[in-house]
């Protein structure tokens, strides 16, 4: 606040000096121009401060919104993982846990790199919900005591698709990491060239 007044005062003094010395205005007119300059400068600085603080606030809100999205996804994955306790087949349960582990790795990455959230749009908007439905329906169907051949066939289909889901999750993680790997390789190349030049 003090800096704003100080800068406005400097502008006012400069206007007062210039208007009297170079334009031959009376002291009263010079003072009025200087006062107007003080008010105008003060207003411009205030508008500038408000503009930049709003921009920063908008950025932090956007970051907060992204963080909330990732937190919701991570919570869904944790709920899916809890469902594995109801799965009697250990192999199926372990497969689901492995997918959840990859999903949490993706969430951890997105928490560290919220700017990459758009690159994981399909994972967030489709893959998680589809996986959640598949697992909960599998649990519900597998708990039925009386199972016909159609039910057994549906359960088998789910068991067969789990490996593909895991691969899809891993591909998503790899896709997100590609930029970081590219940046790292670039840094290593620059470092190697610099070391050669110095050697």
| Structure confidence by residue, pLDDT tens digits, 69-101 | 899 999 999 999 998 898 888 999 999 999 999
Query: In this predicted structure, what is the pLDDT of residue 57?
Result: 43
Q: How many CA atoms lie within 13 A of 100 on its CB side?
A: 19
For all residues of the chain together, what is the average pLDDT?
78
Q: Which of 29-33, 52-56, 112-116 bottoms out in mean pLDDT, i.e. has the lowest? A: 52-56
Q: In this predicted model, what pLDDT tens digit does every residue of 148-192 receive, in sequence order?
A: 788 888 888 888 888 888 898 888 888 888 765 555 555 555 555
CA separation for the pair 68, 63 (Å, rounded): 9
Q: Which residues contact 75 (CB under 8 A, 6 or more apart)?
A: none
Residue 103, pLDDT score: 94
Helix (H, G, I), strand (E, B) or coil at 23: coil
The answer to whether the beta carbons of residues 96 and 85 sit under 8 Å apart is: no
Per-residue pLDDT band for 60 (boundaries 50, 70, 90) equals very low
User: What's the pLDDT at 4?
Assistant: 63
Tell me the H-state helices in the chain: 2-21, 27-83, 90-112, 121-122, 128-142, 149-198
Q: ∠ at Cα 50 (46, 52), nearest 5°?
A: 120
Angle among Cα 90, 109, 98 to the nearest 5 degrees reads 10
pLDDT at 18 over 80: no
Average pLDDT over residues 3-32: 71
Rounded to the nearest 5 degrees, what angle is found at the Cα of 179, between the Cα atoms of 176 and 184?
A: 130
Query: Model confidence over 123-150: pLDDT tens digits?
Result: 888 889 999 999 998 898 888 766 678 8
């Amino acid at each position: 606040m003090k800096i704003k007044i100080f800068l406005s005062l400097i502008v006012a003094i400069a206007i007062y000096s210039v208007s009297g010395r170079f334009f031959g205005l009376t002291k009263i007119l010079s003072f009025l121009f200087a006062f107007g300059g003080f008010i105008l400068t003060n207003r411009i600085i205030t508008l500038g401060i408000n503009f930049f603080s709003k921009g920063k606030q908008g950025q932090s809100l956007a970051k907060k919104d992204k963080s909330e999205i990732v937190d919701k996804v991570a919570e869904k994955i944790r709920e899916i993982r809890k469902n594995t306790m109801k799965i009697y087949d250990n192999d199926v349960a372990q497969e689901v846990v492995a997918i959840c582990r990859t999903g949490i790795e993706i969430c951890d990455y997105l928490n560290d790199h919220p700017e990459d959230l758009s690159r994981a749009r399909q994972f967030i908007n489709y893959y998680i919900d589809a996986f959640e439905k598949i697992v909960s329906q599998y649990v519900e169907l597998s708990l039925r005591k009386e199972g016909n051949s159609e039910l057994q066939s549906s359960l088998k289909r789910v068991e067969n698709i789990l490996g593909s889901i895991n691969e899809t999750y891993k591909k998503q993680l790899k896709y997100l990491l590609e930029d970081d790997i590219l940046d790292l390789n670039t840094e290593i190349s620059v470092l190697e060239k610099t070391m050669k030049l110095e050697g």
